[in-house]
Amino acid sequence: MPLTVHELDVRPLLATGQPPIDAILSAIAALPSGAGLRLHAPFEPRPLYSKLASLGFEHSAEPQPDGTFLVQFTPISIPLDLRELEPPEPMQRTLEAAATLPPYARIVARTRFRPVHLLAMLAERGLTATCHEQPDRSWVNVIVHTTAAPTGSASP
């Protein structure tokens, strides 16, 4: 499934002397589950990388010909291949990984069966899951931590 990416240009904010952190955190909080953010900035926003990593996003930065930067933040994706394990181990390993999942990050777990019992447990923990049967009859289960990102004037 393709990644949906939302755009945010912070150059106008910075040009008027406004710090962009509130706009960035608000944009992150407003992202649909599993979506990414493409940030347009006049410089490489290195301090922002660790802040958004703590919220479950990895980054890639591209310098532009005009000296600005285009930085794409995408949800961290933790792959788990659990097809060789016997129940209940796939469920246990998924729950262990989910316990430390940062907000907006996701687990992509491949299992032999649709994890029916796991889905309710994930929902109780504030996680959403979508399950996709594969041609080999295994399942790809995308589990997303949907806790809202903090807002406010936190330093990046």
* Ordered domains of the chain (ranges, CATH): 5-75 (3.30.110.40), 77-145 (3.30.110.40)
For 28-69, the pLDDT digits (tens) are 989 887 789 999 999 999 999 999 998 889 999 999 999 999
Strand-pair category, 36-41 with 5-9: parallel
For 116-125, the pLDDT digits (tens) are 999 999 999 9
- Please tell me the distance from the alpha carbon of residue 98 to that of residue 122, in angstroms, as a whole number: 8
For 91-111, the pLDDT digits (tens) are 999 999 999 888 888 899 999
pTM comes to 0.68
Selection from 129, 124, 126 nearest residue 109 by Cα: 129
Averaged confidence pLDDT in the chain? 89
Residue 2 has a pLDDT of: 54
Residue 7 has a pLDDT of: 97
The answer to whether the beta carbons of residues 138 and 12 sit under 8 Å apart is no
Task: Pull the structure tokens for residue 38.
Answer: 């493409």
- CA 60: distance to chain centroid? 14
- CA 71: distance to chain centroid? 15
